[in-house]
Amino acid sequence: MRLEKIRLDKFLAHHLGVSRTIIGKELRAGKVTVDDEIIKSGAYQLSLDQIVKYEDNEIKPVIGYRYFMLNKPQGYVCANQDPEYPTVLYFIDEPMADKLHVAGRLDLDTSGLVLLTDDGTWSHRITSPKYHCEKIYLVAVAQPLTTNLIEMFNQGIELRGDKEPTKPAKLVIIDDYHAELTISEGRYHQVKRMFAAVGNHVVALHRKQIGHIQLDIAEGEYRPLTQDEVESFL
Ligand code: URA
């Protein structure tokens, strides 16, 4: 099979996230090798089976879509940039990490499962209300939980400012102050607003599952999704 070729400066600019002008300077300074040979010309035609190094660090070509799970700690924003807080990309040590986006955000003070991808069609399956993707949260609340909430959440809750009540949600009470809640929508601050609507207050929130994907890594860690996990949304 003949591999497609790409200009070296284009490959570097794309993978390092800088302009071709900057790449041109780095090339002329002799900082780039291809198969251990210094290459100074940006027009060099690179084949993707060759080994490219910048300042001795290998730059592996990114081919195809990427899918990751992250166990987000509190205090990080689900965005690619934020003027005030560090973002989830702080944890992602991948080339072109800024090309990834979050499929279903968590609040700054919510921890747990975040999915990141550069595949917009795939993330749409998770976030679009059309697909009813289930998300499971562990919730800690300020006031004791009562069993009548199970039916109320199952019937749907009127949220202030929303036209429609929430879709049936499954509440499993763990103890007086802790519960597991499964919802199939992704409205703004939905879990916090659902508990506020019944006179309670969420003091801690953690997402443990999205669809069939279960969080199984430590806080602050990330890993690529398996093929089965990716395909579970297709
Ligand atoms: N619901 C919330 O209120 N916050 C989240 O971060 C996720 C769901």
Rounded Cα–Cα distance for residues 175 and 192 (Å): 18
Pocket test for ligand 1, best of 191, 203, 207, 210 (most atoms within 8 A of CB): 191
Tell me: the pLDDT tens digits for 100-138? 999 999 999 999 999 999 999 999 999 999 999 999 999
pLDDT at 220 over 80: yes
Nearest one of 41, 95, 108, 44 to 68, comparing CA atoms? 95
Residue type, 19: S
Around ligand 1, the residues with Cβ closer than 6 Å are 106-107, 110, 189-192, 205
3-state secondary structure 62-121: CCCCCEEEEEECCCCECCCCCCCCCEHHHHCCCCCHHHCEECCCCCCCEEEEEEEECCHH
Closest Cα to atom 4, ligand 1: which residue? 189
Tell me: the pLDDT tens digits for 35-57? 999 999 999 999 989 999 999 99
- Quote the ligand 1 centre to 78 CA distance (angstroms): 12
| 65 or 18, greater pLDDT | 65
Q: Could you tell me the pTM of the whole model?
A: 0.87
CB atoms inside a 10 Å sphere around CB 5: 13
Any idea which residues carry the catalytic annotation?
107
Tell me: the pLDDT tens digits for 181-203? 999 999 999 999 999 999 999 99
Kindly indicate the confidence band of residue 2, based on its pLDDT and cuts at 50, 70 and 90: low
- Quote the ligand 1 centre to 86 CA distance (angstroms): 18
Rounded Cα–Cα distance for residues 46 and 166 (Å): 53
- Who's near 91: CB < 8 A, 6+ residues apart? 70, 72, 76, 220, 221, 222
Note the pLDDT of residue 1.
54
Helix/strand number for the chain, H first, E second: 6, 15
Q: What is the mean pLDDT of residues 145-158?
A: 97
pLDDT at 3 over 80: no
| 63 or 119, greater pLDDT | 119
For the CA of 186, the nearest atom of ligand 1: 8
